[in-house]
Amino acid sequence: MTMEKTPQKPLVIADRLCKTYGGGRGFLAGSTPALKAVDNVSFEIYPGETLGLVGESGSGKSTTGRVLLQLEEPTSGDIIFKGQNLTGLSKPLLKPFRRDMQIIFQDPYSSLNPRMTVGEFVGEPLVVHGQGGNRSERNDRVAALFRRVGLDPSFMTRYPHEFSGGQRQRVCIARGIALDPALIVADEPITALDVSIQAQIVNLFQDLQDELGLTYLFIAHDLSMIRYLCHRVAVMLRGRIVEIGPCEAIFENPQHPYTQALLSAIPVPDPKIERERRPIAFDVNANPTPADAVLKPVGERHFVLG
Amino acid sequence: MTRYLLVKLLEAVVAIWGVVTIVFFVSRILGDPTVLLLPVGAGPEEIANLRTALGLDEPLWQQYLYSLLAMVKGDFGISFQHVRPALDVVLERMPATASLAGLALIFGTLIGAIAGAIAALMRGTVAELVVMIAALLGQATPTFWLGIMLILLFSVELGLLPTGGAGGWENYILPGLTLSVFVSASIARLLRSSLLDIMREDYVRTARAKGLMPRTVFFWHIARNALIPVVTMIGIIAGELLGGSVVIETVFAWPGVGRVIVQAIQAQDFPVIQAGVALVAGIFVVVNLLVDLLYGVLDPRIRRG
Amino acid sequence: MTPLLDIRNLTVVFDTPAGTVHAVNDVSYTIEEGETLGIVGESGSGKSVHALSMVGLIARPPGRIVSGEVYFKGRDLLKLAPRELYNLRGKEIGFVFQDPMTSLNPVLTIERQIAEPLRRHFNLSKNQARERVVELLELVGIPNARTRIGQYPHEFSGGMRQRVMIAIGISCNPKLLIADEATTALDVTVQAQILDLVRDLKKKIGTTVIWITHDMGVVAGLADTIQVMYGGRIMERGPVDAVFEDPRSAYTWGLLKSLPHGGKRGATRLYQIPGNPPNLIEKPVGDPFAPRNAFATERCKRETPPLLQVEDGVAGHKAAAWYDLRAELKKEREASA
Amino acid sequence: MKSFFLALLKSRAGLFGFLLVLVFIAGAILAPYLGLPSPTRSSLTARMVAPTWTSLFSPGAHPLGTDELGRDILSRILYGSRTTLLIAAGAVVLGGVVGTLLGIVAGYYRGMVDRILMRIVDIQLALPLMLLALLVVAAVGASSQNLVVVLALTSWLRYARIIRGQVLALREREFILSAHAIGAGTWRIMIKHLLPNVMTPVLVIATLELARIIIMDAALSFLGLGVQPPSPSWGRMLADGRVYITTAWWIVTFPGLAILLTVLSVNLLGDWLRDYFDPKLRTAR
């Protein structure tokens, strides 16, 4: 890939994003302790690139993805998309940008509206943005989208409960690419799928990137898939990015003890390696990240929090 | 737990204030009580004097504030009909209503719980069918009609029990039975479905995987958790019993708060309406506070929350 | 030596409004004392249902055991009187379930939940049971055990709850421990700790373990024997090294091949198994994997292949296949060369 | 739709309820065409005639007997069902629409809107519904329209509470987030994504509320606060007949049976709808 060498403008920049839940005083509810779900997170993603975001449950990786798409408002920080700062934009002003960025979720069962045909669901973005012409032209476009993700267009009039997990995820992907977006946030898109289906969806993601030049933020906890799919990886722990860098650097030369622990914990489908594998323990509570820690370079485009 | 209770208490106070406010303004629409209080043919001057005496010629919001202040001190005004403190009129009727409702609640809950448990444990048997049909009928029967039918059978035909009024224990039987039917039908249905839901929970499978005897699994793992929605239901039923007292006390000529309120509404006796409704709402709120407390005991997740 | 567990022709169905779901079809296998058996399969493979059904832990109805025998220490579990089964569950066969969030009773203390099987099976007094509970919690790596026993499940993290589940499972030193997707709901680092703990416990108390999972990686380091299930049937089974190195079922082969294997970006596309998981409501005919299998023959579609010892394989390596996977792969390699 | 009726046919209780509801609706609609005596025509010669089963088909007879003024009870029950069912249906629709909309709005916006609405619900819950209805009817008068509004007033909060809970849960579902992600407007999300997904619980609550409202309407007229005479109403028939309980049991028995059967059939249908669409609602009431 040549793209990694040519200096380009980032497609999207997350600049010191923070998202805090609770902490406010509610009417009759008393005060709730504040939870910093996302804490000073900065990164950029270049056009055509796949950035992997890994971390365990509660690390803030999903929230980061949602804040990046303005599905939740950041408590502070900026999101700069194609040079334009999106934070604080009102709903109508944000709407044109929605065409350019989409999200695909983990659970294919709750990500489809059970009371809408899948055809209507895939075509909805076109309707919302006044694209795709009249009803029959729109139908043709939806049919084309169905074919592109490997679904039979004759399924368009069916309801979600008639589909398997893998097929549902294809429907979600079709909806995601309906408006020709530049950026797709994929929030654990294969976690809930059967093992024999996961490879199908991963391949689809890669094919679409090759054909449409998509940029991905790929959120996952399965590191082996991340390694396979991503150009760069960011590791999150308790709302902060503790290490970010090119995929190879992270996997071959992890610097942060948490990254090392995470990598050592991946089960390997090979008995010889797996029997000898000893996970490195990392106690988060014993090693709290200092509040004033910053990302420091340790290699080419490779940074560690410390 | 303390904070949980404080919040609940504050909510209760707000609720009672809201009820009092609603009742105050709604009852002012009822009409002008002076017309009823004076002999027919009273002159406009007499009416005006009485209005001033009762404080009815002041602006509405001022009346509202005054009565709110007075109510905080426990003063609901003087009953127009009885010419004595409205609160006394209501309070002396309270034991009759509370004892009847309490009796029905305890008795009905016991019967309902047993029936519901039988239905859930004996799924697919005749016993379940009988319980479910009885519960359905019990829920569909209007209490006031059931009361009349019971009077027809036990008092008119068989001559065994008094048709109404208060007095000895035998006066409690028919109204108590009538209300218990309603209570036990609701409890039986809810407990059955709640038990059936809990039986499907993962932790019940865990309990069975431990080799516990079915009895232990039922009481400690299923029933314990199925009780939580039932407790909520008891709070709701308590409210319906208090509200329903209006009707059932009319049927059995029961000298309780419900009848006093009905009479007061007919006579536009504002202070008694106000005191009666506030009292009923207060009792209801206290019952629900107890329910919340019980909730905290039953469910540790709330205790710490 | 007689095996600890000997399952013969176990068939389980579920009667649902949509039709009869054929969840487990004619499953037979044995497990020796001290062995660790890893059962791998995806949802609907019958891996969990068959294990639950043999000790009466599936709801009946809708579940129904159509046929089969399950000999545990020589006795057929399916023919035991209810009371005998209660005496056996938790004491001789311990369970660890998947979701630690829903598998513990939210309104009872941890102490009570771990002490229950102890008091039931060994008639321990409250104090004796408490000592054993503390001991167990320390064994499964929960710090401050003595102060934590009075707490409720919601006060424990997911990983800690799964440790509690394991403590319950091993509390009576069972002969057999069945873990059903015990680490699926956990984070990878926690999963690694739990797997370490199980390996450790095996060394200490030597329990026989059936570890049910969908993750090939998890059983690779844990199991002695691996058994791959699909569509309610055993597709392949054998010593773990043999199956990983030399799979003879197209399904096992496909699963292993579709994993990234530490592969780097953009090298190749992942191998993908085509199609979707089987619909178990239709009466199963033939090899359940046949519709998704490029090597399937006509016979695969008509006739169910028996689970047989593979040719020139190690002893105990069995596969259910009419086709010869090794020959087919060789043909493919020659064709591409 | 086909599978819906197939399932209904399979469930004996559901089918029984459904058919009985149909019978009552048919009776209410067809009342004027059945050749019955007028419900308001009194006859001094035919006072308190006892019911006779044999007279069912002879014209001018009184199969369920007559009341103290000689009015035909069967006719009064049938005509009474028209008022009762119309008022109850009106209250269910009004309460349902208002409650559902408020529930969706509260669940969608959360925050202050939600807190205020739920506080109002709590206040109203502290006032037993029967007392509230009694007070308001006494205040505004017992016309049919007023009764519809008052009964709807006791009903909206059940929808609002449950629908709010459902919307709060739906809101976290990923398809709602996905609708935000494509830039769908608030209106579109409410109408296209939230409303269709709460229609099932709305339907179920509506059926169960219909049964409750029929009883409450009867109770109000029993206390003299229902539709005013001469229009026949079940509750009023009970109240009036109660006086003659020692001499004419039928006057008070049949209207009560009519209430019981109507409520029973609606409940059966509602229970079945709930189990068919959403068993989880069982404990959510």
pLDDT band at D102 (very low <50, low <70, confident <90, very high): very high
User: Which ranges constitute the DSSP H helices of chain B?
Assistant: 2-29, 33-37, 44-54, 60-72, 86-91, 94-121, 126-140, 143-150, 170-199, 202-209, 214-216, 224-251, 257-267, 270-298, 300-304
Query: How far is it, in rounded angstroms, from Cα D14 to Cα D269?
Result: 5
Give the one of B23, B139, B197 whose C-beta lies nearest to D135's C-beta.
B23
Query: How far is it, in rounded angstroms, from Cα C51 to Cα C33?
Result: 17
Q: Which of C245-249, D13-17, D78-82 has the highest mean pLDDT?
A: C245-249
pLDDT band at C197 (very low <50, low <70, confident <90, very high): confident
Question: In this predicted structure, what is the pLDDT of residue B36?
Answer: 64
Contact check, Cβ <8 Å, C116/B202? no
pLDDT band at D4 (very low <50, low <70, confident <90, very high): confident
Distance from CA of A30 to the nearest CA of B (A): 8
Distance from CA of A29 to the nearest CA of B (A): 7
Among residues of chain D, what percentage have pLDDT more than 90? Answer: 32
Structural domains of chain D, count? 1
CB contacts of B3 in chain A (<8 Å) are 30
DSSP string, C5-52: EEEEEEEEEEEETTEEEEEEEEEEEEE-TT-EEEEE--TTSSHHHHHH
Question: In this predicted structure, what is the pLDDT of residue A27?
Answer: 44
CB contacts of B244 in chain D (<8 Å) are 128, 130, 219
> Is residue A192 in a domain?
no
Mean pLDDT, range A32-49, rounded to an integer: 89
Mean pLDDT, range B265-286, rounded to an integer: 86
Find the chain C residues whose C-beta atoms sit closer than 8 A to any C-beta of B. 52, 55-57, 59, 86-91, 94-95, 97, 99, 102-108, 113, 116-117, 120-121, 152, 154-155, 165, 168
Query: How far is it, in rounded angstroms, from Cα D189 to Cα D170?
Result: 11
CATH number of the domain where residue D9 is located: 1.10.3720.10
Neighbours of chain B (3+ CB pairs under 8 A): A, C, D
Q: Which of C144-158, D40-54, D233-247 has the highest mean pLDDT?
A: C144-158
Range of A233's domain? 12-47+59-89+224-305
Tell me what the pLDDT averaged over chain C comes to.
Answer: 91
Tens digits of per-residue pLDDT, B17-68? 888 888 888 877 766 667 666 666 677 787 788 777 777 777 888 888 888 8
Contact check, Cβ <8 Å, B261/D267? no
Question: Which of A16-30, D33-47, D232-246 is least confident?
Answer: A16-30
Question: In this predicted structure, what is the pLDDT of residue D170?
Answer: 92
A54 within 8 A of A223, measured Cβ to Cβ? yes
Distance from CA of A28 to the nearest CA of B (A): 6
Question: In this predicted structure, what is the pLDDT of residue A23?
Answer: 65
D193 within 8 A of D110, measured Cβ to Cβ? no
A50-54: strand order across its sheet: A101-104, A183-187, A215-220, A50-54, A232-237, A240-246, A302-305, A295-299
> Is residue A5 in a domain?
no
Neighbours of chain D (3+ CB pairs under 8 A): A, B
Question: In this predicted structure, what is the pLDDT of residue C41?
Answer: 93
Question: In this predicted structure, what is the pLDDT of residue A28?
Answer: 44
> Is residue A126 in a domain?
no
- Give CA separation, A289 vs A19, A237, A242, A245, in Å: 17, 9, 9, 19
pTM: 0.87
CATH number of the domain where residue A296 is located: 3.40.50
Tokens standing for A151?
């679904």
Among residues of chain A, what percentage have pLDDT more than 70? Answer: 94
Structural domains of chain A, count? 1
Contact check, Cβ <8 Å, C191/A267? yes
Tokens standing for D75?
């006719």
**Best of A68, A116, A124, A129 to mutate (most D CBs within 10 Å, chain D):** A124
Question: In this predicted structure, what is the pLDDT of residue A2?
Answer: 41
Q: What is the 3-state secondary structure (H, E, C) of B134-203?
A: HHHHHHHCCHHHHHHHHHHHHHHHCCCCCCCCCCCCHHHHHHHHHHHHHHHHHHHHHHHHHHHHHHCCHH
Question: In this predicted structure, what is the pLDDT of residue B88?
Answer: 92
Among residues of chain B, what percentage have pLDDT more than 70? Answer: 95
ipTM value for the complex:
0.85
Mean pLDDT, range C325-336, rounded to an integer: 90
CB contacts of A28 in chain B (<8 Å) are 7, 10-11
Question: In this predicted structure, what is the pLDDT of residue D53?
Answer: 66
Q: Which of B77-91, C167-181, D33-47 has the highest mean pLDDT?
A: C167-181
Please name the residue of chain A whose CA is at the shortest distance from the CA of residue C242. A271
Among residues of chain A, what percentage have pLDDT more than 90? Answer: 65
- Give CA separation, B210 vs A118, B206, C42, C166, C197, in Å: 45, 6, 26, 12, 21
Question: In this predicted structure, what is the pLDDT of residue A1?
Answer: 42
Give the one of C188, C259, C276 whose C-beta lies nearest to A269's C-beta.
C259
Mean pLDDT, range A68-78, rounded to an integer: 93
Tens digits of per-residue pLDDT, A241-289? 999 999 999 999 999 999 999 999 988 888 998 888 888 888 877 778 8
Contact check, Cβ <8 Å, A111/D173? yes
Question: In this predicted structure, what is the pLDDT of residue C235?
Answer: 96
Question: In this predicted structure, what is the pLDDT of residue B33?
Answer: 66
Answer positive or negative: Cα dihedral of C282, C283, C284, C286: negative
- Higher-pLDDT residue of D270 and D101 is D101
pLDDT tops 90 at residue B292: no
Mean pLDDT, range C299-305, rounded to an integer: 92
Question: In this predicted structure, what is the pLDDT of residue B299?
Answer: 85
Q: What is the 3-state secondary structure (H, E, C) of chain A?
A: CCCCCCCCCCCEEEEEEEEEECCCEECCCEECCCEEEEEEEEEEECCCCEEEEECCCCCCHHHHHHHHCCCCCCCEEEEEECCEECCCCCHHHHHHHHCCEEEECCCCCCCCCCCCCHHHHHHHHHHHCCCCCCHHHHHHHHHHHHHHCCCCHHHHHCCHHHCCHHHHHHHHHHHHHCCCCCEEEEECCCCCCCHHHHHHHHHHHHHHHHHHCCEEEEEECCHHHHHHHCCEEEEEECCEEEEEEEHHHHHHCCCCHHHHHHHHHCCCCCHHHHHHCCCCCCCCCCCCCCCCCCEEEEECCEEEEC
> Is residue D115 in a domain?
yes
Tens digits of per-residue pLDDT, D107-122? 999 889 999 998 888 8
Question: In this predicted structure, what is the pLDDT of residue A242?
Answer: 95
Angle of helix B270-298 versus helix D129-140 axis, rounded to 10: 160
Question: In this predicted structure, what is the pLDDT of residue B305?
Answer: 41
- Higher-pLDDT residue of C223 and D244 is C223
Q: C5-261+270-336 in CATH: which number?
A: 3.40.50.300
Neighbours of chain A (3+ CB pairs under 8 A): B, C, D
Mean pLDDT, range D91-99, rounded to an integer: 96
pLDDT tops 70 at residue C319: yes
> Is residue A128 in a domain?
no
Mean pLDDT, range A288-292, rounded to an integer: 81
**Best of A50, A228, A238 to mutate (most C CBs within 10 Å, chain C):** A228
Question: In this predicted structure, what is the pLDDT of residue B31?
Answer: 67
**Best of C43, C200, C244, C265 to mutate (most A CBs within 10 Å, chain A):** C265
CB contacts of B250 in chain D (<8 Å) are 222-223
pLDDT tops 60 at residue C3: yes
Question: In this predicted structure, what is the pLDDT of residue A6?
Answer: 53
Among residues of chain D, what percentage have pLDDT more than 70? Answer: 93
Distance from CA of B122 to the nearest CA of C (A): 13
**Best of A28, A31, A32 to mutate (most B CBs within 10 Å, chain B):** A28
CB contacts of C271 in chain A (<8 Å) are 199
Tens digits of per-residue pLDDT, C35-63? 999 999 998 899 999 999 999 999 887 89
- Give CA separation, C300 vs B250, C322, D86, in Å: 79, 6, 65
Among residues of chain C, what percentage have pLDDT more than 90? Answer: 73
Contact check, Cβ <8 Å, A102/D174? no
pLDDT tops 90 at residue C253: yes
pLDDT tops 80 at residue B204: yes
Tens digits of per-residue pLDDT, A103-141? 999 988 889 999 999 999 999 999 999 988 889 999 999
> Is residue D133 in a domain?
yes
Tell me what the pLDDT averaged over chain D comes to.
Answer: 85
Tens digits of per-residue pLDDT, B108-131? 999 999 999 999 998 888 999 999
Neighbours of chain C (3+ CB pairs under 8 A): A, B
Distance from CA of A139 to the nearest CA of C (A): 26
Domain B94-255, CATH class in plain words:
mainly alpha
pLDDT band at A34 (very low <50, low <70, confident <90, very high): confident
Beta-carbon contacts below 8 Å between A and B: 6
Tell me what the pLDDT averaged over chain A comes to.
Answer: 89
Please name the residue of chain C whose CA is at the shortest distance from the CA of residue B123. C61
> Is residue A251 in a domain?
yes
- Interface check A93 vs D, CB under 8 A: no
Mean pLDDT, range A159-186, rounded to an integer: 94
- Interface check A83 vs B, CB under 8 A: no
Please name the residue of chain B whose CA is at the shortest distance from the CA of residue C103. B203
Question: In this predicted structure, what is the pLDDT of residue B114?
Answer: 95
pLDDT tops 90 at residue C151: yes
Contact check, Cβ <8 Å, A28/B3? no
- Interface check A28 vs B, CB under 8 A: yes
Tokens standing for A35?
């939870």
Give the one of C217, C266, C272 whose C-beta lies nearest to A268's C-beta.
C217
- Higher-pLDDT residue of C27 and A192 is C27
Tens digits of per-residue pLDDT, C56-86? 999 887 899 999 999 999 999 999 999 999 9
Range of D233's domain? 2-33+71-284
